[in-house]
Amino acid sequence: MEITKDKFAILEYSVRLEDGTYVKGEGCNASLNFVAGYDQILPALEKQLIGMSAGTETEFVITADNAFGAYDEALVETRSFADFPEGRNLETGKWVIASNKQTGAQYSYYVRQKTSEAVALDFNHPLAGKDLYYHVKVIHVRPALAEELEFLRPCQHGVDSGTNQGPLPVSS
Strands 22-24 and 132-143: unpaired
What is the C-alpha separation between 170 and 153, in angstroms, rounded? 17
- CATH 3.10.50.40 domain span(s) along the chain: 7-68+129-151
The third-level CATH classification (topology) of the domain covering 73-122 is Thrombin, subunit H (2.40.10)
What is the C-alpha separation between 140 and 32, in angstroms, rounded? 11
What is the C-alpha separation between 124 and 114, in angstroms, rounded? 17
Is residue 22 scored above 90 in pLDDT?
A: yes
CB 67 within 8 A of CB 43: no
pTM of the model: 0.76
Is residue 170 scored above 70 in pLDDT?
A: no
Is residue 61 scored above 50 in pLDDT?
A: yes
Q: Which CATH number fits domain 7-68+129-151: 3.40.1710.10, 3.30.70.20, 3.90.1260.10, 3.10.50.40?
A: 3.10.50.40
Rg of the chain over Cα atoms, rounded to whole angstroms, equals 21
